[in-house]
């Protein structure tokens, strides 16, 4: 079957057999609720009556149909220039969902080993999206798929334009460095209700997955202004992402993995500096390893084969900064230290150091003399975050 033609297109969207209303109104069994309760601790279902329920139902139906297009027209090779610029608008009852650079993202998902059927099932109307209490100062809305595997975030038009402009180089960077810590961006979309204003959102792999045993979460920028979060009361089910000042006095014990981590942070932040990007974060989470999970164990052969797959030579593997991946879901964002498992990823890659940010830098220099804040030049931002990582790892 021929691939879809490039450029803006508008088509009538197919509908999933089971719509969102049917799923959310169905009665769930007690066993399902008990089994799901622990893994969703601190999260809230966006169910009927929630102010964002209507919006997320449209996102689910739209993403189901958008993924169906890439299943019907799978990529046959690396993305072309036309693939990066394609815009597909699917018309649904009461709304439109746009898919930007769809063929390029379909190829990227395939390169990550992500089956389109799994992607469609997780993001479609198979269960309500989840919400958590965000400590971000942005006006964005944040969601998780019902299985917590994928993260969705609304974005401004300017940020989406930056992401799409950088997308070819982002894909190239991931090809050169398959074990990069950069968050895996899986889709960029727009939602337009009743011919109103478009809402843009992105889909990416969740860094904090699987989340069942995670004990602490942090968002690190390497500075101090506005980088404290009041922790949740002891025993509270609320999941909070803490910040730099909350991490004072703590270290990340990576053992032999430390050198790899420092090198990969250098490679990734250098790439972001070249894109003139700043204000990104290093997400971190901790999970204690059980006794039988410590060390390489019997999975060494599997992990070695999985980690060097595609490397042409030891020299190329070294340039790519590959490592032994753990035998676990979301392995690209997981590093195992001697006693703890760490979930690590660099997120928020869309803020460009333009005139607005330069003016903000000048204002903050006057407002916070002698203190460190996030709005600095991309070169200084990258250098400072790498320095933070070096000082807080062992």
Domain boundaries, the chain: 41-205, 214-292+330-392
pLDDT along the chain (394 residues), means of 10: 58 65 40 42 84 96 98 95 97 97 98 97 95 74 94 96 98 97 98 95 97 93 95 82 95 96 98 98 95 62 45 62 93 96 97 96 95 96 98 97
pLDDT at 199: 97
Provide the sign of the torsion angle of the four alpha carbons 148, 149, 155, 157, taken in this order: negative
CA 23 to chain centre: 26
- How many Cβ atoms from other residues are within 10 Å of residue 391's Cβ? 10
- The CA distance from 352 to 129, in Å, is 30
Angle (nearest 5°) at CA 342 between 215 and 122: 80
Report the chain's terminal Cα–Cα distance, integer Å: 53
CA atoms within 13 A on the CB side of 74: 9
Q: What is the CATH number of domain 214-292+330-392?
A: 3.30.810.10
With CA atoms as reference, report the closest residue to 119 among 109, 129, 128: 109
Q: pTM of the prediction?
A: 0.87
Distances (CA, A) of 292 to 182, 201, 300, 338, 363: 29, 40, 14, 12, 53
Handedness of CA 376, 377, 383, 385 (dihedral sign): positive
Does the domain at 41-205 match CATH 3.30.800.10? Answer given as yes
Nearest to 307 by CA among 316, 317, 297: 317
Please answer whether residues 389 and 277 qualify as being in contact, where contact means their C-beta atoms are separated by less than 8 angstroms.
Answer: no
Beta pairing partners, 217: 285
* Closest by Cα among 302, 291, 282 to 338: 291
């Amino acid at each position: 079957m021929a691939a879809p033609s490039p450029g803006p297109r508008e088509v009538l969207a197919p509908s999933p057999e089971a719509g969102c209303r049917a799923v959310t109104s169905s009665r769930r069994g007690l066993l399902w609720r008990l089994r799901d309760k622990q893994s969703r601790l601190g999260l809230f279902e966006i169910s009927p009556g929630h102010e964002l329920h209507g919006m997320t139902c449209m996102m689910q139906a739209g993403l189901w149909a958008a993924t169906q297009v890439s299943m019907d027209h799978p990529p046959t090779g690396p993305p072309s220039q036309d693939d990066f610029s394609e815009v597909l608008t699917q018309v649904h009852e009461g709304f439109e969902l746009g898919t930007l650079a769809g063929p390029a993202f379909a190829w990227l998902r395939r390169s990550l080993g992500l089956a389109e059927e799994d992607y469609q099932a997780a993001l479609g109307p198979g269960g309500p999206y989840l919400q958590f209490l965000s400590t971000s100062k942005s006006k964005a809305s944040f969601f998780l798929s019902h299985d917590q595997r994928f993260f969705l975030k609304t974005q401004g038009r300017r940020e989406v334009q930056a992401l799409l402009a950088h997308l070819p180089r982002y894909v190239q960077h991931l090809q050169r460095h398959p074990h990069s810590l950069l968050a895996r961006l899986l889709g960029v979309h727009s939602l337009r209700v009743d011919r109103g204003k478009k809402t843009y959102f992105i889909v990416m792999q969740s860094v904090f997955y699987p989340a069942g045993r995670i004990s602490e979460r942090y968002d690190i920028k390497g500075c101090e202004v506005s980088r404290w979060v009041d922790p949740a009361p002891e025993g509270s089910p609320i999941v909070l992402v803490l910040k730099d000042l909350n991490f004072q006095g703590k270290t990340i014990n990576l053992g032999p993995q430390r050198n790899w981590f420092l090198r990969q942070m250098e490679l990734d932040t250098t790439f972001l500096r070249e894109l003139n990007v700043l204000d990104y974060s290093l997400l971190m989470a901790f999970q204690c390893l059980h006794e039988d999970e410590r060390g390489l164990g019997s999975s060494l052969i599997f992990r070695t084969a999985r980690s060097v797959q595609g490397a042409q030579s030891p020299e190329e593997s070294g340039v790519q900064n590959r490592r032994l991946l753990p035998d676990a879901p979301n392995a690209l964002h997981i590093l195992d230290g001697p006693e703890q498992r760490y979930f690590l990823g660099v997120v928020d890659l869309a803020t460009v150091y333009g005139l607005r940010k330069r003016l903000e830098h000048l204002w903050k220099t006057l407002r916070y003399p002698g203190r460190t804040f996030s709005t600095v030049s991309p070169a200084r931002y990258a250098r400072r975050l790498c320095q933070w990582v070096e000082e807080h790892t062992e």
